[in-house]
Structure 1
Amino acid sequence: MTQDILNADRTTDSPPSTTEAESVNRRSFHIRYAAMFFSPMLVVVVIVGALYAFLWRTLETIGPVTAARLQDKTGDLYGAALFYRPFAYKLERYRLTSPDILLVGSSRVMQFAGEVFNVPVLNSGGASNTLDQTVGFIRAALAVHKPKAILIGLDFWWFNPSRDDDIDATGDMSDDVDLSLSQLFAPLQWVSEGSLRAGSFFEALLPVKDLAPGIGAFAKFGGRGWDVYGRYDYGTLLDGGMQSDDRHFKRTLKRLQSAKISSKLNVRVSPSAEKIDELRQLLAELDGQSIEVVLFLPPLAGSVLQAIEQDPESRLIPLWRDAMANLGARVFDFTDPQALGSNDCEFVDGFHGGAVTYMRILDAIADYGDTILSRAIDRDMVAGLIATNAGHARVNELLPGDAPPEIDFLDLGCPKAL
């Protein structure tokens, strides 16, 4: 073997040069730097992807009009947690239903059950937070279809002349869903505030897991949402799945006691003459179209009404009740639940009676006389449901067979056993 060959072998086995080592070190440094830089970004991407996947699987990414049409096919509850656009949703449900009877008002109308009517009915409760919105919804509905009768629930704060506080926007007709970054992270907020269980969030991320029926996160994971008739089911709020924020009506009473002059709950004012005239104009408009109109004043929880009446400066509610009685229209005053035989145990919170209380309202209206609305109510069915559910906020027969029993969710000492 020659010396050249031996030298060649030694050259091949020699260590890398200083320049090559530096290059390797630089590459290693760049890899570590890139990993340090991109790892947080990757974590963010995974989190955002998981949040979007949750919203997509729970159908939070569809708009209210699309949801109304989907509900027409599936019959599932619609309880969106991300977007609250009841005006658009209820108007589309009205278009799809073309009902003989239309129920109109705020959330204090949402507990009327459609099953006890013997004609097509749509409960648009929740779409109208002011008298102006009520007028707007009715006009929009009439442009689609003319009902035979309309039942309108009137809130006393609609007639408060001092009100200039924020009003929840319900007139948005958009079906678009453009998710912002804050909306993408909303599920984390729902978990932190207790309106969604952490387990439900992770359950929705399992692709092989069949989720409960429902359109929207609250419907799927809390049984909360509007049914096909427009009645709102409070779901887990009433069976202990989530905690009420109005136990002993403390939240309602605090809102009343701390109401500023500009608050809608300020009862130390006289009702607005302008709003009363606006209501008269609406009634004349509907009368001119030969549509039967019935007005009613929704009940307050007895404890809440008593607290309001004990305020020596309170005058909005009594003066408003008198003004409504003098409209010359058919008006049912159910402000005091005792007139219905209802009590605090049948309330969801201080301002909202439950489904049983609203069965009592329909029973009272049906007893009034021979009207389109009274004839549309199956009074035998109503009476039977009241008898089997007295003292409860919901009607057991309208629930799924596996629904948990109602509990004393307001901590009032109410017996809830059926």
Structure 2
Amino acid sequence: MDKLFKKVLLLALPYVLYLSIPVWLLVGTKELGGNINQIIDNASKGNPQLVGFGFNESCYRYMKLKILAALPRRDVVALGSSRVLQFRDKMFAPNRFYNAGYTIKSIPEFMTFVSLLPEDKLPRTLIIGLDHWMFNARYDHLNAAPNKQEWLKYDDMDVTSVFKASKKVYKRTFSGVVSLDDVLFPDKAMARSQKDAALASVPKFGFNACVNKTGFRNDGSMYYGIQIEKLMANASDANDFKFKDTLHKVAKGQDRFKQGGEINEEAVRQLRLFLAYCQKKNIHVVAFLPPFTDTVWNKMVASGKFHYLDGLNARLQHELDGYGYEFYDFSTFSSAGATDLEAIDGFHGGESVYLGMLIRMLDRGSKLNEFCNVNKLREDAARKFNRYTVYQSF
């Protein structure tokens, strides 16, 4: 028995040694073993934090639904994919706002998310980002109903997921992307990178929060940290630098950029069901098509392979009009009064782009005027911190 135990130990030792550094880094950054309930409690109490997981994002839907349910009823909620994440509470102050972005991948999921909220926590106004590809049947077949359990529970990292993450952890460690200081002294690393002592003292949860200084603020919006620093420095190692990766996907018809023909009628039908539900619950809906950079949009249109985009804005306008709701087409940065220099990547705008979009909504008579001071927002835009960031404070 002793010999067998020693053999098993010898066989296991290389794996234990191999996993020791990834486990240490993942635990140190609270990617592994982080307390989601603590994050939810911090958010509900207004305690600043930065939440950004790099290898296990399964908790985000659960986390945001629970935070929204724990907070006092919001006046305005932004809901959609990552392309709504630059709306911030400061744009709606002093009214109550929360950004529930990064929780929706397809049209039916809007209904799923909102229907899971307690009745007394339903927002007065809902801003929804309708990603173009949600109406492309080749990207989203809508063959199965959303799984509500994805919002009601989450999976912690296990041995298998740690093994999967370990290769990337080692790659980033040996390439110098990850410094041991990021784990041992994350506050000092943050201050050194951001030159912001206030941000340095904010608790971080997750690999991205500690290493890339990227994650969710307490209002649910996204802080892009090092990505913006790299873009400001015109660094070629910035994510999707000069939209190279996005343009490649457009050319190859990959991922969200699958080439498609007609508008998916099932997606339109599901949208109609959601709008009817919101009308029944007295929720005012403000819908918009999020922007691509002009470079990416022009490439898509010029290819002649994205026909579902033809007339999509008119179709959505018709559907929203039918319920007395609002619709805005911001398919390009220029339509939002912005340039490609304000892009986080090929299909994500910075904070300044979304402030510009909001001001245009207000100028066109949006009911959001009940919650926003457009003159104050214009002053904010005129004093923005840099071409991506409007508000300097975290």
When normalised by structure 1's length, the TM-score is 0.77
Between 57-66 and 326-335, the greater mean CA deviation after superposition: 57-66
Contact 2:54 2:207 in 1 (8 A): yes
1:355 equivalenced with 2:344 (yes/no): no
- Once the two structures are superposed, residues 311-356 of structure 1 have per-residue CA deviations (whole angstroms, 9 ceiling, x without a partner) of 2343211221121121113101111221221010011111111111
**Partner residue, 1:340:** 336
1:190 equivalenced with 2:169 (yes/no): yes
Structure 1 counterpart of 2:28, from 37, 57, 68: 57
Structure 1 counterpart of 2:267, from 275, 278, 302: 275
Gaps of 5+ in 1: 1-29, 400-418
1:84 equivalenced with 2:57 (yes/no): yes
- Once the two structures are superposed, residues 37-56 of structure 1 have per-residue CA deviations (whole angstroms, 9 ceiling, x without a partner) of 96785565455444433323
Q: How does 1:69-108 map to 2 (within 5 A)?
A: 69-73=41-45, 74-85=47-58, 86-97=60-71, 98-108=73-83
Q: How does 1:173-188 map to 2 (within 5 A)?
A: 173-183=152-162, 186-188=165-167
Between 388-397 and 300-309, the greater mean CA deviation after superposition: 388-397
Q: Secondary structure at the match of 2:110?
A: helix
Q: Distance in 1 between matches of 2:221 and 2:170?
A: 26
Contact 2:138 2:259 in 1 (8 A): no
Residue 122 of structure 1 and its aligned partner are, at CA, apart by 0.8
How much identity, in percent, do the aligned residues show? 22
Residue 185 of structure 1 and its aligned partner are, at CA, apart by 6.5
Contact 1:325 1:331 in 2 (8 A): yes
- Once the two structures are superposed, residues 243-276 of structure 1 have per-residue CA deviations (whole angstroms, 9 ceiling, x without a partner) of 323122121111111116xx54234311112211
Contact 1:102 1:122 in 2 (8 A): yes
1:68 equivalenced with 2:40 (yes/no): yes
Contact 1:108 1:352 in 2 (8 A): yes
Contact 1:99 1:120 in 2 (8 A): yes
Q: Distance in 2 between matches of 1:169 and 1:39?
A: 43
Contact 1:160 1:269 in 2 (8 A): yes
Structure showing greater radius of gyration is 1
1:309–1:70 CA distance, 2 compared to 1 (3 A): same
**Partner residue, 1:7:** none
Q: State the one-letter code of the partner of 2:247.
A: L
Q: Secondary structure at the match of 1:251?
A: helix
**Partner residue, 1:11:** none
Q: Distance in 1 between matches of 2:280 and 2:115?
A: 13
Structure 2 counterpart of 1:135, from 88, 103, 111: 111
Structure 2 counterpart of 1:148, from 100, 124, 142: 124
Q: Secondary structure at the match of 2:286?
A: strand
Between 234-243 and 112-121, the greater mean CA deviation after superposition: 234-243
Residue 179 of structure 1 and its aligned partner are, at CA, apart by 1.7
Gaps of 5+ in 2: 191-199
Q: Distance in 1 between matches of 2:215 and 2:182?
A: 20
1:323–1:195 CA distance, 2 compared to 1 (3 A): farther
**Partner residue, 1:255:** 249
Q: How does 1:20-39 map to 2 (within 5 A)?
A: none
Q: State the one-letter code of the partner of 2:34.
A: I
1:392–1:128 CA distance, 2 compared to 1 (3 A): same
How many residues matched? 365
Q: Distance in 2 between matches of 1:292 and 1:51?
A: 46
Q: How does 1:285-364 map to 2 (within 5 A)?
A: 285-327=277-319, 328=321, 329-364=325-360
